[in-house]
Amino acid sequence: MATVLLVEDDPVVRGALVRALSHLGHVVHPVGTALEALREATRSEPDLVILDLGLPDLDGASALRMLRGYSEVPVIVATARGDEPTIVRLLNDGADDYVVKPFSSAQLAARINALLRRSLRGPERPAAGDGDLVVGDLVISLERREATLQGRPLDLSRREFDLLAHLASNVGRVVPRRELVEAVWHQHPLVGHDQTIDVHVSWLRRKLGESAGSPRYLRTVRGVGLKMVVPE
């Protein structure tokens, strides 16, 4: 059971989601505006937020950025658009996951459960032993959750670090996408995450000083997955 802050301005949709989430055993605090959501997030400190983007008083993406100014609560964004620029923007703004309307209660429940499992486990670490992983000029400390490239610290998000560390733990091996979904995102591989993986890989490439056209550490094996290599 978790405390869920539901931000949805449509009373019909809000009522249906409250019933579905309550049936799953969650305590739901429903609100209809962004300002109510920001106040409630401060007051009740929910375990998870479901945030609709089409709010009457403030754009949902703006509300998300404001929320991220003081809280790391997991956020699932509900959006009517599933195109890549929209998803990239939402992830950049601080969303942990997203659902594209219309969505089923079963899909939403699966995503909630996955986020709550990660939240209860605390900061994620790949399944590897203590110590440093060294790949060329890249050094990854699993214990300190830090990475440096040529001695310079890399500014990595939690998910970027986990993705980088998992690939470095399997250097030279092609890691299938389904394995990344399970090991890094801790979700069922049948849930569509190709776009999310691609976005995070793109961010990692920029921070590693490479691109998809000129890879150094991260090689894409089309139709299979990703492989980390030692640069020549």
Which stretches of the chain drop beneath a pLDDT of 50?
Answer: 121-130
Quote the pLDDT of residue 198.
85
Q: Which of 50, 75, 57, 80 is nearest to 65 (CA)?
A: 75
* Domain range 3-121, its CATH number among 3.40.50.1820, 3.90.1150.10, 3.40.50.2300, 3.30.1490.100: 3.40.50.2300
Q: What is the rounded distance in angstroms from the CA atom of residue 48 to the CA atom of residue 216?
A: 38
pTM for the whole structure: 0.56
For residue 46, is the peptide bond before it cis, meaning its omega torsion is within 30 degrees of 0?
A: no
| Tokens (6 digits) for 129 | 């032993």
CATH topology of domain 132-228: Arc Repressor Mutant, subunit A (1.10.10)
Q: Which residue has the tokens 């590897």?
A: 128
- Closest C-alpha to 101, from 116, 113, 86: 86
Q: Reduce the secondary structure of the chain to three states and give it as a string.
A: CCEEEEECCCHHHHHHHHHHHHHCCCEEEEECCHHHHHHHHHHHCCCEEEEECCCCCCCHHHHHHHHHCCCCCCEEEEECCCCHHHHHHHHHHCCCEEEECCCCHHHHHHHHHHHHHHHHHCCCCCCCCCCEEEECCEEEECCCCEEEECCEECCCCHHHHHHHHHHHHCCCCCEEHHHHHHHCCCCCCCCCCHHHHHHHHHHHHHHCCCCCCCCCCEEEECCCEEEECCCC
Structure-block tokens of residue 181:
């979904």
What confidence score (pLDDT) does residue 129 get?
A: 41
Domain ranges of the chain: 3-121, 132-228
Q: How far, in Å, CA of 44 to CA of 57, rounded?
A: 21
What CA–CA distance (Å, rounded) separates 110 from 231?
39
> Do the domains 132-228 and 3-121 match in fold?
no
Each residue's pLDDT tens digit, 9-18:
999 999 999 9
Model pLDDT for residues 172-192, shown as the tens digit of each residue: 999 998 888 888 877 765 555
Q: What is the pLDDT of residue 115?
A: 81
B/e letters for 12-48, b = 16+ CB within 10 Å, e = fewer, are eebeebbebbeebebebbbbbebebbbebbeeeebbb
